[in-house]
């Protein structure tokens, strides 16, 4: 990567560019991107999903959040790239850094396709404040990347109504109702999960996420879908035409947008800055995509499917855990081989469509990196000692799963056992909370953190994120985060929303622990004080009791743990062999 960075810095010097910004996103502001868009990784060597690279002719800075501090330290060349620990006191954001360093006539360059409209506007204002120049049509990395992978292209297919629970015309009418309320005669949609949800279509253009590259323009009486040539399956074309959808080529979206006028509704956090600039003839109504909040609330069909497919997924996980716990020390295992074994168990389940993200299988100190990925170089053998953290998930037409368990493979220290118990306690307490309608995730996050904060511990990430339905494993607007920000993943929690509950403890160089369940928000009771809500655990995977110090649990916490283990046994045991079911029964407490 040192050579790639050096080449880019030479190009910047030749073009008199003061700073060049390389984000992590694609033109749709996707969280996970195709290999073709991994420009930041190509230059820096850092493979995490979140981060921003700022390059000058002489220096380079990488911003990333607490999930990736340890990983970034290991992957980047610190003699040439300075790690900026995002969110740590005293560390400026990218915008604050530029605000401090930009001078008159400096040139700040980037490719506007990979910036959100909101972020692009902030950069433009910062440059203008210092009388610097902001240019957004540079393609320096694209041009120097000789063996850049071709963009993935797969077939787009229907997501059956028996899984979706609501048809496309019904969803479209809700969008047009919102357009009417806002006084918009156009709506530009570029978020891939939202487009897939709206049309009841799925694809495989992005690894682990069943979406397809596309844009949508909705007017008062027309609907345009921009997709790549020859990607629609034989059943999709008549389906779209029957619903009056006008199919256009993906590459035509840019020129189409430039020709529009009137009042257009769009989400400036999802539409890229280049397209935003091309809508100069339009009056823009900036707001969150209405599709986001609509798809976040799962309907009754989806909820029924989620419950069933979590049983399938729980059965696969439980079979795997039985194998792991009974074979460790007698069967050769490594991080990679264990990941493959778990994948084999999931492949046996009905309608399995693949992983929902790359499995994190991290042994001992590797688990201190929240998003560690085992490679042939980093892979290590597992021994009957220490802890193994596995964070994994699956895609099914009836839902997306995400579950983390930390396994005790043998003797662990008292410190590790205490941390393991605190994490389990934190997860159970948040899952059990009852709360009034109107609460946001930030109102509840402290319930999970309190047992850890009491001991002077914390984790540098949110406690949980929203999960899509046979879509992205990370989706808003709901989340659990203690920093309240209503504009960013801190929505009011509504019945039908699904959010993960995943507190943890991460000690660099020693160990990492996380326990994660997916929770369904549902109604609990109605009385004179209002509507009370609660959570139902969708995830049905036993917790490894070998790490629990029961003396640290209150009677209530012991009851919650016992009830959860019993719930898992009741749901999963019919899907197990006699030996597996007998082992699972031993996990009751």
Of 166-180, 212-226, 364-378, 542-556, the range with the lowest mean pLDDT is 364-378
Distance of CA 510 to the CA centre of its chain: 26
Alpha-carbon distance of 53 to 84, in angstroms, equals 10
Q: With 90 as the cut, is the pLDDT of residue 490 above it?
A: no
Contact 106, 19 (CB under 8 A): yes
Q: Which fold has domain 157-294?
A: Creatine Amidinohydrolase; Chain A, domain 1 (3.40.350)
pLDDT confidence bin for 484, thresholds 50/70/90: low
Radius of gyration of the chain (CA): 24
- Top CATH class of 297-585 equals alpha beta
Q: With 70 as the cut, is the pLDDT of residue 22 above it?
A: yes
Of 84-93, 264-273, 432-441, the range with the lowest mean pLDDT is 84-93
pLDDT digits (tens, 9 = 90+) for 280-316: 999 999 999 999 999 999 999 999 999 999 999 999 9
- Reference 296, options 524, 500, 496; nearest CA is 496
pLDDT digits (tens, 9 = 90+) for 203-214: 999 999 999 999
pLDDT confidence bin for 155, thresholds 50/70/90: very high
Q: With 60 as the cut, is the pLDDT of residue 343 above it?
A: yes
pLDDT confidence bin for 151, thresholds 50/70/90: confident
Alpha-carbon distance of 194 to 123, in angstroms, equals 26
Contact 429, 451 (CB under 8 A): yes
pLDDT at 174: 98
pLDDT at 1: 61
- Reference 334, options 365, 290, 378; nearest CA is 378
Alpha-carbon distance of 294 to 445, in angstroms, equals 23
| Structure-model confidence comparison of residues 294 and 482, the more confident one | 294
pLDDT at 564: 98
Alpha-carbon distance of 13 to 101, in angstroms, equals 17
pLDDT confidence bin for 488, thresholds 50/70/90: low
Where, residue-wise, is CATH 3.40.350.10 in the chain?
Answer: 2-144, 157-294
Q: Which fold has domain 2-144?
A: Creatine Amidinohydrolase; Chain A, domain 1 (3.40.350)
pLDDT digits (tens, 9 = 90+) for 501-544: 999 999 999 999 999 999 999 999 999 999 999 999 999 999 99
pLDDT confidence bin for 67, thresholds 50/70/90: confident
pLDDT at 71: 86
Where, residue-wise, is CATH 3.90.230.10 in the chain?
Answer: 297-585
DSSP state of 99: H
pLDDT at 156: 96
Of 108-122, 145-159, 209-223, 563-577, the range with the lowest mean pLDDT is 145-159
Q: With 90 as the cut, is the pLDDT of residue 70 above it?
A: no
pLDDT at 21: 97
**Residue spans of beta strands (DSSP E) within 279-359:** 282-286, 354-355
Q: Is the peptide bond before 247 cis (omega within 30 degrees of 0)?
A: no
Task: Please provide the average confidence, as pLDDT, over all residues in the chain.
Answer: 95
Q: What percent of the chain has pLDDT over 70?
A: 99
Contact 53, 40 (CB under 8 A): yes
Phi and psi at residue 247, to the nearest 5°? -90, 125
Q: With 70 as the cut, is the pLDDT of residue 491 above it?
A: yes
pLDDT at 487: 57
pLDDT average, residue stretch 226-250: 95
pTM of the model: 0.92
Token digits for 247? 């199919």
């Amino acid at each position: 990567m040192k050579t790639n960075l050096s080449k880019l810095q030479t190009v910047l010097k030749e073009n008199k560019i003061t700073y060049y910004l390389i984000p992590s996103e694609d033109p749709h502001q996707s969280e996970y991107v195709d290999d073709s868009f991994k420009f930041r990784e190509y230059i820096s060597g850092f493979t995490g999903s979140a981060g921003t690279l700022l390059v000058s002719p002489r220096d380079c800075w990488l911003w990333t959040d607490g999930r990736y501090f340890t990983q970034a330290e290991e992957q980047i060349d610190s003699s040439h790239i300075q790690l900026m620990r995002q969110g740590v006191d005293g560390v400026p954001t990218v915008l604050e850094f530029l605000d401090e360093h930009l001078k008159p006539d400096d040139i700040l360059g980037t490719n506007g396709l990979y910036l959100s409209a909101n972020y692009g506007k902030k950069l433009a204002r910062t440059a203008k404040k210092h009388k610097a120049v902001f240019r957004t049509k540079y393609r320096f990395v694209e041009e120097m990347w000789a063996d850049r992978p071709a963009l993935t292209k797969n077939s787009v297919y229907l997501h059956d109504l028996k899984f979706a629970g609501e048809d496309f015309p019904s969803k479209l009418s809700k969008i047009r109702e919102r357009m009417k309320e806002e006084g918009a005669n156009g709506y530009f949609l570029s978020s891939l999960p939202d487009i897939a949800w709206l049309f009841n279509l799925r694809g495989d253009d992005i690894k682990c996420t069943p979406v397809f590259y596309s844009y949508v323009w909705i007017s008062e009486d027309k609907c345009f879908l921009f997709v790549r040539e020859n990607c629609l399956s034989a059943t999709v074309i008549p389906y779209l035409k029957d619903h009056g959808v006008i199919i256009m080529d993906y590459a035509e979206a840019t020129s189409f947008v430039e020709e529009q006028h009137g009042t257009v509704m769009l989400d400036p956090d999802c539409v890229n800055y280049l397209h935003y600039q091309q809508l100069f003839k339009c009056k823009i109504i900036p707001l969150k995509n209405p599709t986001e909040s609509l798809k976040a609330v799962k309907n009754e069909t989806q909820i029924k499917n989620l419950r069933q497919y979590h049983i399938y997924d729980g059965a696969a996980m439980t079979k795997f855990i039985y194998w792991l716990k009974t074979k460790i020390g007698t069967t050769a295992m490594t991080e990679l081989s264990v990941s493959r074994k778990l994948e084999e168990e999931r492949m046996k389940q009905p309608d399995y469509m693949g992983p929902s993200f790359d499995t994190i299988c991290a042994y001992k100190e590797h688990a201190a990196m929240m998003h560690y990925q085992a490679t042939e170089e980093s892979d290590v053998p597992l021994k009957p000692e220490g802890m193994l953290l596995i964070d994994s998930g699956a895609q099914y037409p009836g839902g997306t799963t995400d579950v983390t368990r930390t396994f005790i493979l043998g003797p662990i220290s008292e410190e590790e056992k205490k941390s393991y118990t605190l994490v389990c306690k934190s997860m159970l307490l948040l899952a059990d909370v009852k709360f009034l309608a109107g609460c946001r995730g930030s109102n509840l996050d402290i319930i999970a953190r309190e047992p850890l904060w009491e001991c002077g511990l914390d984790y540098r990430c949110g406690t949980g994120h929203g999960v899509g339905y046979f879509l992205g494993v990370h989706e808003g607007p709901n989340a659990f985060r203690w920093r309240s920000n209503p504009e960013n993943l801190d929505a009011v929690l509504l019945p039908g929303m699904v959010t993960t509950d995943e507190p943890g403890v991460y000690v660099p160089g020693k160990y990492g622990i996380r326990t994660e369940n997916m929770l369904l928000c549902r109604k609990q009771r109605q009385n004179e004080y209002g509507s009370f809500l609660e959570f139902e655990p969708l995830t049905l995977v036993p917790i490894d009791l070998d790490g629990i110090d029961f003396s640290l649990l209150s009677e209530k916490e012991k009851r919650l743990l016992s009830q959860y283990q019993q719930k898992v046994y009741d749901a999963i045991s019919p899907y197990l062999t006699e030996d597996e079911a007998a082992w699972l029964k031993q996990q009751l407490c």
